Structure 1
């Protein structure tokens, strides 16, 4: 599953990520285009026991989240 949170300001990217994590998914990707969203989504995912891999893209970052 992929969440496109580009253009959204915090806390919206975290809230969108939480909606999906609450469904107990094993993995997902989150697309973000600002540093605050990258940091906040990463921090939230780690707190929810997800491993986070950050990849730089043409538009910002792709955060790959995988349940530990």
Structure 2
């Protein structure tokens, strides 16, 4: 799981890019705390062939990326 809470864009996307390039995971969970990060990580995940599910968790968001 990548905890990108507290980071502003583009850092959450950069963190996800590094994980995807290094390990090509079949699924990945990402925690973010702002709508901009939700949109950008979702866009990146989709461009890499992942289906992205977004679940609000209090003030944060859990994104699940699955191939």
Q: TM-score, normalised by structure 1?
A: 0.93
Q: How far apart are residue 59 of structure 1 and its match?
A: 3.0
Quick check: which one's helix share is greater? 2
- Unaligned stretches of 5+ in structure 2? none
In 1: Cα distance, 2:49 partner to 2:28 partner:
13
1:62 equivalent in structure 2 = 62
Farther off after superposition, 35-44 or 52-61? 52-61
Q: How does 1:6-45 map to 2 (within 5 A)?
A: 6-22=5-21, 23-45=23-45
Runs of 4+ in 1 over 4 A off after TM superposition: none
Query: How big is the alpha-carbon RMSD for the aligned residues of Structure 1 and Structure 2?
Result: 0.6
- Unaligned stretches of 5+ in structure 1? none
Please give the secondary structure, in 1, of the residue aligned with 2:2: strand
